[in-house]
Amino acid sequence: MTSVTDTDTITTIDRIRARHDDAVHIGTGCDIAADVDIIIDTDATITIGDRVSIRRGTTLQANTGGHIVIGDDVAIGENVVVSAMTTIRIGRGAGISNMVDIHDHNHRPRTHENLAPGEPITPWASGFDAAPITIEAGAVIANKVSITAGVTIGQNTRVGANAVVSASLAPNATAVGVPARVVTRTPGPLDPEQPRQQLRIGWFGTSLMEHYEAHNPRLSTQADLPDIGQQLEVTEWRNRGYVHALITGWSIHYPWITILSDNRGEGGATSRNVLANLRAAVDDGGRWDLAVVGVGINDVWRHHQGRHDEAVGIDEYDTNICAALDLLTNHARRTLVIGEPPMGWDPSIDVPAANRDLADYNRRARRAAEDHRALFVDIWDDITYTATCFGWSPTTPTAPATGAPSVWTDGVHLSEQGDEAIRQMVARQITTHRILDGLLTLDRLDRATATREYR
């Protein structure tokens, strides 16, 4: 190993600065081996913080439009390769051991779409997909680990030797294997200056999703509860129901993530209204990691109530939900469509006939979801099963006796049991398909799109 004295360090850093000028920034007190290879292409940069150590044989390559950012007090071992087409960030105090490979890009498949006619056979002919990589403060990466595009490795997390990190890892964890999986978690201090990762979830639907509850803060403040019989003024509406329960559960399951819930459910909304709400949200710059759509019950209900101006026929419903999913293709990373539950009772309409129509609308929603590569959650059978166990009949639907359990409060809106049933079904599908886990790893996009989207 080449010994690095103060004079050698100055010579090495001066050589790097002279070669790359403003494209490189190197802080104070750095220890960089003489044979470290720094490659910076057009419109690319490398930023190295203070007191960074980079040992022999390591390569830092910022490809055209790519950026490498290394925080203070980082130690990088021997024969490490860091190659960026978008951005690779290594947080302060992180340790990267020998022969680690960090690439924020991959070769695209050799398909007709990715190869120009007559293109020579070269390793790069099909182009690249790319997504930023973040190694957060205090993380330690052992020998011969490979870290792939889009991954975030949380603060203080340790990755065992020879692992392949292809999905993001939580902070304060130990991960091993191919692919790397968390095997232990330990509490530890997090850097307050490290921004928390965020997931934004948008909800577009009816009152089943909106689920407003009249509230006064004293009603839930244990140290200041009102006396029985005391009158309080309603001071706010708050969203509750299955959406609130899901967000609460996810915030506990992923405590290192800030989950932002953008609930745009609207009481009485038909697919017409939901589409208009979504368009307004998109016009306001709305973008979501996960968008959830649930609509149809009011389209049918209004028809059976004789409110034909508000009702939405099944063909228009099909058009509306497809238009909504078209919009979300470009404004949400993943989309989930929740089927509507059956109606329980309504003395003013023929409920079995309305439910037959609503089942047809759900079939259209399922087909639209499949056509748009969205996940469809069918809640009909589970709600029906639970309701019948509570004593409800789908052929002769009537309101339950006072105090009897029910999945509905008024025959259409959900009770706590109904909300819990939907929460369980949605949570199960989200977990089975690893939706939130997948969203923690950034999507790999073609190189040009990645450069633009992740700038």
- What pLDDT, in 10s, does the model give residues 150-207? 999 999 999 999 999 999 999 999 999 999 999 999 999 998 888 889 999 999 999 9
Flag whether pLDDT at 355 surpasses 80. Answer: yes
Last residue of a domain, one of 153, 185, 217: 185
235 Cβ neighbours under 8 A, 6+ residues apart: 215, 216, 217
pLDDT band, very low/low/confident/very high, at 122 (cuts 50, 70, 90): confident
Flag whether pLDDT at 145 surpasses 50. Answer: yes
Using a 10 angstrom Cβ sphere, with 0-12 exposed, 13-18 middle and 19 or more buried, the burial of residue 90 is: buried
Task: Give the CATH number, domain containing residue 269.
Answer: 3.40.50.1110
Residue 1 lies in a domain: no
Flag whether pLDDT at 72 surpasses 90. Answer: yes
Task: Give the CATH number, domain containing residue 76.
Answer: 2.160.10.10
Q: Determine the average pLDDT of the residues in 279-286.
A: 96
pLDDT of residue 124: 83
37: its two tokens? 């290879």
- Looking at the fold, whether 154 and 218 belong to one and the same domain comes out as no
- Looking at the fold, whether 272 and 386 belong to one and the same domain comes out as yes
- Looking at the fold, whether 160 and 298 belong to one and the same domain comes out as no
- Looking at the fold, whether 25 and 72 belong to one and the same domain comes out as yes
Residue 192 lies in a domain: no
Cβ–Cβ under 8 Å, residues 437 and 259: no
Return the number of other C-beta atoms located less than 10 Å from residue 410's C-beta: 12
pLDDT of residue 6: 47
- Give the count of domains, the chain: 2
Inter-helix orientation angle 351-371/314-331, to 10°: 40
- Looking at the fold, whether 180 and 320 belong to one and the same domain comes out as no
- Looking at the fold, whether 272 and 137 belong to one and the same domain comes out as no
pLDDT of residue 2: 41
Flag whether pLDDT at 82 surpasses 90. Answer: yes
pLDDT of residue 121: 83
Residue 131 is part of which domain span? 6-185
Last residue of a domain, one of 147, 165, 185: 185
Order of strands, sheet of 152-153, starting from the edge strand that comes earlier in the sequence: 24-26, 45-48, 67-70, 87-90, 133-135, 152-153
Q: Determine the average pLDDT of the residues in 263-283.
A: 97
Residue 158 lies in a domain: yes
Summarised one tens digit per residue, pLDDT across range 198-239 is 999 999 999 999 999 899 999 989 999 999 999 999 999 888
- Looking at the fold, whether 105 and 240 belong to one and the same domain comes out as no
Q: Determine the average pLDDT of the residues in 231-260.
A: 95
Inter-helix orientation angle 297-304/351-371, to 10°: 150
- Looking at the fold, whether 90 and 169 belong to one and the same domain comes out as yes
pLDDT band, very low/low/confident/very high, at 1 (cuts 50, 70, 90): very low
CA distance 258 to 246: 14
- Looking at the fold, whether 119 and 209 belong to one and the same domain comes out as no
pLDDT of residue 155: 96
CA distance 235 to 337: 33
* Matching residue, tokens 């089975």: 432
8: its two tokens? 């050698």
pLDDT band, very low/low/confident/very high, at 10 (cuts 50, 70, 90): low
Residue 91 lies in a domain: yes
Q: Determine the average pLDDT of the residues in 308-318.
A: 97
pLDDT band, very low/low/confident/very high, at 5 (cuts 50, 70, 90): very low
310: its two tokens? 């508000």
- Looking at the fold, whether 156 and 207 belong to one and the same domain comes out as no
- Looking at the fold, whether 178 and 208 belong to one and the same domain comes out as no
Flag whether pLDDT at 3 surpasses 80. Answer: no
Residue 191 lies in a domain: no
Residue 393 lies in a domain: yes
- Looking at the fold, whether 143 and 257 belong to one and the same domain comes out as no
pTM for this entry: 0.89
Among the residue ranges 23-32, 113-122, 150-159, 229-238, the one predicted with the least confidence is: 113-122
Last residue of a domain, one of 185, 218, 252: 185
Residue 249 lies in a domain: yes
Residue 190 lies in a domain: no
pLDDT of residue 119: 77
3 state SS for 216-228: CHHHCCHHHCCCC
Flag whether pLDDT at 416 surpasses 60. Answer: yes
